[in-house]
Amino acid sequence: MKIPTFRHIHEMQSFNQDELLRKYKFVELLTNADFSKVTAMDVDYLFLIGAFSLVFNSAKFIIKCPKCGEKLVKWVKLTDQDPIELKVKYKDLPYHRRIKGVKYTYNILTGKQLLDAYEWAQFEEDSDKAFQDAQVAFIMGYSLKEVEKVRRLPISVYAAALLFQRVNYHGLDMRTSVECFKCHHVKKFNFSITTKILEYDVELMMHKFASVSDVLSFEGFMSMSVLDFNSFVTSLNNRVKK
């Protein structure tokens, strides 16, 4: 996986503002991943790694204490979060289960299937419900042309497909906790990272380049990561001091 550079950051500024599409575009830029060969949760995992690298693997979250209402700040380090492995083995997929005597098939949603489901759902009147229906269709081995069959399934079968995805979560453990400094209540919460972390002031980027343009080409600057750039500037400043 590539480290995000200023070129990647710049390209993302003009890309579609849709959350899911931006996430997949960012992962594609860094990995050239074939989304048909990785799970949708794998894509989320890759996005987290790439996004956190932009903020030096540490991000700040602000939540409210549910007991006293105090504002709490929690810094989360990516390296402190435990990985969660896929419970079901790939060799055991697709998974088969009988519900009321009928055999049903369940599979792990791929990144491509999630994208296809999302894009298909945008043309439906209730896009959110259609998106979920399309996901269930793929999980159960149906095509998008067979979504109506999914909608006629018993609710227990439909819910089992969603549950299969949930219990087979894999990626990073997104749970953490923070203790209120005022009342000492310990608040557990799940944190998440959205593509807002990719937003970057292009004018600021150009100011950064201008500050080193006498010793670095624009091409060289654009190929640098934020961390590389900071290290480069630090090195220049140390040289000047000497």
What are the tens digits of pLDDT across the range 83-137? 999 888 777 788 888 888 899 999 999 999 999 999 999 999 999 999 999 999 9
Best CA proximity match to 8, nearest among 45, 17, 115, 22: 22
Least confident among 13-27, 42-56, 88-102, 169-183? 88-102
| Distance separating alpha carbons of residues 118 and 130, to the nearest angstrom | 8
pTM over 0.75: yes
Question: If pLDDT is split at 50, 70 and 90, which confidence band does 217 have?
Answer: very high
In this predicted structure, the answer to whether residue 160 has a pLDDT above a threshold of 80 is yes
Question: If pLDDT is split at 50, 70 and 90, which confidence band does 211 have?
Answer: very high
| Distance separating alpha carbons of residues 232 and 242, to the nearest angstrom | 16
Question: If pLDDT is split at 50, 70 and 90, which confidence band does 14 have?
Answer: confident
Q: Output the pLDDT for position 241.
A: 64
Q: Output the pLDDT for position 238.
A: 83
- Which value, to the nearest 10 degrees, does the dihedral of the CA atoms of residues 165, 168, 170, 174 take? 80
Evaluate whether 183 touches 69 at the Cβ level (below 8 Å).
no
Mean per-residue pLDDT, 193-210: 91
Q: Output the pLDDT for position 94.
A: 87
Q: Output the pLDDT for position 104.
A: 92
DSSP state of 153: S
